[in-house]
Each structure stands twice: as C-alpha cells, then as structure tokens.
Amino acid sequence: MCGIVGYISKDGNPNSLRLGVEALKRLEYRGYDSAGFAIWDANKKDIFCQKAVGRINKLEEKINNNSVFDNPVILHTRWATHGGVTDCNAHPHCDCRKNIYLVHNGIIENYKELKEQLIKEGHKFSSETDTEVLSHLVEKFFKGNLEEAVRRALSLVRGTYGIAVISREDPKKIVAARLGSPLLLGLGENEYLIASDPSAVIAHTKKVIYLDDGEIATLTPENFFILKEKKPEEIEWKLEEAQKGGFPHFMLKEIMEEPETIENALRGRLIIEEGRVKLGGLDGIQEKLRKINRLILVACGTASYAARVGEYMLEEYAGIPTEVDTASEFRYRKPIVDKNTAAIFISQSGETADTLAALKEMKQKGILTIGITNVVGSTQARETDAGVYTRSGPEIAVASTKAFLGQLATLAMFAVYLGRQREMALVMGKRIVQELAKLPELAKETLKSAPEIEKLAKNYKDFNNFWFIGRKYNYPIALEGALKLKEISYLHAEGVGAGELKHGPIALIDETFPTVAILPSDSVYEKMVSNIQEVKARRGKVLAIATQGNEDIKKIVDDVIYIPKTLEMLTPILSVIPLHLFAYYTAVLLGHDVDKPRNLAKSVTVE
C-alpha cells in the first residue's frame, strides 16, 4: 500500500529528482504518512538520501536545489505497517555501510528472525520497520553485483514485496523485484522507470512491462534485463485522466465520472435485439460456465458490497446459488467446493492481497476462477482463468466511488450472460439489456441533485452517528453508504438491513441519531416504509433516497433525494450516487482531506 518510483536515464538527466517527485505525487494516494528518496550524487560520487514525515510537499521543502544530482533515483511514499510515522521509519532504508538503499511495499513476515540473525552478525538497525531487514540482507550478500545480492537476499525472505534497490558500489543500475506486491517497468525514450502503479509512468511512456511474482529486473541507462523475456503492454488510459480536471478533489471528479464509468463498462457488450451481453473475456470458458451450478463471490471492502448486490442479481436472474465471502476470512475457512463451482474475484486494483490469497487457494483446488477488475495487467487479471475488465479508468481518491459503479454494471451484465445460458427468456433479457443501456443518462440525471445534496449535508454534518438502512438489492448499498461516510468524514455510520433494526440497533435511535433510508419503489418498498415508521416513532430523523414521482414519502420523512426509475435489480447503480455525494460534501464541510483520508490507502496490498 506504498508508492514506489525508480528512474534511470541514458543521458544522466539532471532533472531526475524532479521527475521522480512528480511521478511520486501521482502515487500519493497509495500512502502519505511519510516520503523519501535516494539518488546518485554526481559530485560526491555517493548516494544522497532524504526523508520527511507527512506529505510529499514536506519532502520537497528539504530538497537542496543547488545540489548536482544525477540518477538513478528511487522514491517512496509510505503507509505505515511496522513502526510509527517517523523519519527513521520512512523509506528508503539503508545498511550499516550506507551502500545499499532500498524501498519496499509489502510485509516481510519473518523479519524478526532475520533481524535477530543479522544483529548477531554485527548489523546495526536504526528503524522499527520490517523493510530495513532487506537492506541489511542485500548488503550481507553484496560482492560487487547488486542483482546477485538481491537474488540471494530474497531467497531467505518469507512474505510479500515490491522493491527497488540501488547501490553506491554498483551505481549505474536499479534492481527491482516483486512477490505479491505490484511492480512494473516503464520503457521510455532513453529512460526507464520502476513504479508500483501505471499512473506514475504515463507522463513518460505508455509502454510497460508488469513484473510477475518471483521476477527480478535490472535497469541500466542502456537497457533492462528480466529473468524471462516479456512483451511490453500498452496502458489504456491517458495522463489527463489521472488529473483533477478543474475539480477541487479527485473524489468529486470521480463521482461526476460515474455516468461515463457505466457507459464504458457497457460499451460494445450489450446486444439488445438478442437480449444478451457479450463478455469477450469469458469466451474461452463459455462451455465450462454452462456446467456451473454454484458461484462464490470473493472481495474486500467496497468491492464486497458490489459482490452482495451481485449475489441478488445472480440468484434471481441467472438462477445460480451464490454466496459472498470476505476475502480476508475466506482463505482461513474450508469452503466446500467441487468441479461445478466457480469463484469470482472482485478488486479495483487487481492487487488486493487478501483477494489474491483467496484466488491462489481456489486455483490450488482446481476451481474455475474469474476476475472482475479495473487494471489491465494486474496480478488478478493474469492469475484468473478468465475475467472482465470494468474499464473504469484511473481512480485516485482513496475512497472508491466510480469503480464501484463499474463493478455493479459488470455484475449486472454477468447475471444476464449466465441467465441467458440457462432459463432467462429472450423477453426478460431484452428488458434488462434495454434498461442497462439507459443507465448512463439516468446517472447523469441523478447527479443533477448535487447542489441539493450539498445543502442537505450542511444540515446533517453536525450529527455524530448515522444508520443507513435498506433491503434486498439496496441492503448492500446501505453498507456502502455508511462506509463512505465513515471513511472520509470520520463520523460513526453503520449499514444495517432495515428488517434488523427492531432486533437490536433501534435501541440507539433518538433525535440525535439520524437514519438514511434507501427505498426506491420496488418489491420491498412497503416493508421499508414500515421500518421508517419505527424510526420516526422514536423521534429519529430520516433522510430518504426514493424514486422520482413518489410524493407520499415526503409525508413521513424529513428530507428526500430522488433518483430516476429503473428495474429493481439496477436501482443500486443509481441509489448509491447520492450517498457518494452526501459523504463527499459532509467531509468537505468538516474540513477533511477527502482524497487521502487518515489511516487509509488505496490499494491494500498487505494482509
């Protein structure tokens, strides 16, 4: 969950540090407790290292622009796992002799044993991190060749890592390696980059090579070497897509891109006249899918709420028994699976450590694995048997918004895909596909409520506790709405099935504990109205998300936000949009950094 950048060029670019810092800024969403760099100093023929606690701008303040820096340079922005947020714990880390400098993303599980042995051998440590062990290990094996020292050091390591390493005594190279933590090479004109995310390199090149687990890459000013030859891939999105585009925050920009996200997910995949969808990534397993009689959806966080919506869709319209598992718990269960079970793994980044661990477990059992992800070339995309890209484009804000919409749209298509293989009639298929095609415009219409939602946020921002309630398809949306509010506003919010209120949670309801109720005009609308009445009977304030044209709801709730009418199974794709806006405006009004909320990072690549 940290950001890594490395840069080396043929001409000894004097702007290497500036270029590296700019690339690192595009990764700040991956970690922002502290930042640092290590760079070859051309005058002193030595490596200069600088660190700072806080955001990257704190590091920039410490840079001496009069110094003559060359390259290579490695940079890092940290999300703490081992050790507090201090200069000493910031990356890069070096060995006792200040020969090896290293940045790391991941967790070294056996670092304590390694550290104890290294201390016995005379090594002195200056941080509380697991990462520092790596720099001392590389130094232990260093005999003048950096890549050989890295290879030998990593053979002793247990855990996950994406690393970039430079050496004072083998100066004109960067050595990079990965195991369970994303890392790619950017191939530019007379320059090479290492990064943990494509957004860091797209200002320089769109040609990238994604390292696979266990691979070690060496970059020199003239060339690069990997243990096996790999064909470069093209990054599909553009630099401007990862910039704010005039919005005050990435999160607001990404919420406003939700209609486009839906459209991109659907584009070229809806065959309306035949009432079906075409998912090219599933062509190779089409016949296997016909034999599947059980599905397991595995995900974490926001993606797990998309999975819960997908569970309703797949059971109701594809007729396949489906269950949702949280990835962090799934691998520690002993799920009962057979050859007719398929597992679907959902991750925005395709690098979520818990989800990848669950994927590995299912592959070992010989189960058909399918991925739903946003990132081409990600570990999940490469490891699953087949998959579907959500095409959401880069999502920079830590709290996921538009990627969630992409996942929901993809799951809806997947339900039609499997349903039409089975008992779904042409008429039903056409109806769903036609309604899917309307969603981008309906989402645009929903976003027109943004000014009204901002006003409502002013009325609710001073409450400290919130219930979010929903039923059936919108129960997971209640969970998502609560998660977004707590993630970026730091207010206590909980999502609950509306029918469960009376079984305990309703004890907390009073005039200081408002409820956000999601009740489109669907099959459980009357039930939701009854649940709202229970809240109002206890003096609870209610903000409702309801379907346009429903004037009666105004008689029983305090405030209403309307969404357009659509099929019941598709209402979550619209009902979540006001909740994303509500969380955003509340957090802004409270003065919080909505793009980089405290204690969180974007791509959770540690367990």
Q: State pLDDT tens for residues 394-438.
A: 888 889 999 999 999 999 999 999 999 999 999 999 999 999 999
d(CA 44, CA 200) in angstroms, rounded, equals 29
Q: By the 8 A CB rule, do 509 and 535 touch?
A: yes
496 in the same domain as 573: yes
In a domain, 240, yes or no: no
In a domain, 513, yes or no: yes
Q: What is the pLDDT of residues 170-205, one digit of tens each?
A: 999 999 999 888 899 999 888 999 998 888 888 888
d(CA 587, CA 532) in angstroms, rounded, equals 26
Q: Which of 181, 210, 235 is the last residue of a domain?
A: 235
pLDDT the model gives residue 396:
85
In a domain, 307, yes or no: yes
The candidate with the shortest Cα–Cα distance to 77, out of 10, 129, 118, 21, is 21
Q: What is the DSSP secondary structure assignment for residue 67, as one 8-state letter?
A: S
- Interacting residues of 133 by C-beta distance below 8 A, sequence separation 6+: 108, 111, 114, 115, 118
Joined together, the tokens standing for residue 263 give 């459209």
In a domain, 335, yes or no: yes
Residues of the chain with pLDDT under 50: 606
Place of tokens 């697991």: 130
- Interacting residues of 202 by C-beta distance below 8 A, sequence separation 6+: 235, 237, 238, 239, 242
344 in the same domain as 459: no
185 in the same domain as 268: no
Q: By the 8 A CB rule, do 585 and 454 touch?
A: yes
d(CA 235, CA 513) in angstroms, rounded, equals 46
459 in the same domain as 434: no
d(CA 157, CA 213) in angstroms, rounded, equals 13
288 in the same domain as 221: no
352 in the same domain as 278: yes
Number of domains in the chain: 3
In a domain, 241, yes or no: no
CATH at residue 64: 3.60.20.10
Q: Which domain holds residue 178?
A: 3-235
Q: Which of 417, 447, 477 is the last residue of a domain?
A: 447
Catalytic residue, chosen from 2, 49, 94, 300, is 2
Q: Which of 216, 235, 254 is the last residue of a domain?
A: 235
75 in the same domain as 164: yes
d(CA 131, CA 525) in angstroms, rounded, equals 53
Residue 143 annotated to the active site: no
pLDDT the model gives residue 205:
87
In a domain, 560, yes or no: yes
Give the number of other Cβ atoms within 10 Å of residue 124's Cβ.
9
485 in the same domain as 428: no
18 in the same domain as 151: yes
Please give the single-letter amino acid code of residue 101. Y
Q: Is the pTM of this model over 0.75?
A: no
Residue 88 annotated to the active site: no
Q: Measuring CA to CA, how many Å separate 55 from each of 33, 61, 598?
A: 7, 11, 12
Give the number of other Cβ atoms within 10 Å of residue 584's Cβ.
27
CATH at residue 602: 3.40.50.10490
381 in the same domain as 349: yes
229 in the same domain as 255: no
Q: What is the separation of C-alpha 160 from the centre of its chain, rounded to a whole number of angstroms? A: 18
Catalytic residue, chosen from 140, 541, 596, 602, is 602
The candidate with the shortest Cα–Cα distance to 62, out of 36, 42, 43, is 36
Helix, strand or coil, per DSSP, at residue 331: coil
Place of tokens 């090219």: 280
In a domain, 546, yes or no: yes
Half-sphere exposure of 465 (CA within 13 A, CB side): 9
263 in the same domain as 189: no
Q: Edge-to-edge strand order for the sheet containing 341-347?
A: 322-326, 294-299, 341-347, 368-373, 386-389
In a domain, 430, yes or no: yes
Helix, strand or coil, per DSSP, at residue 360: helix
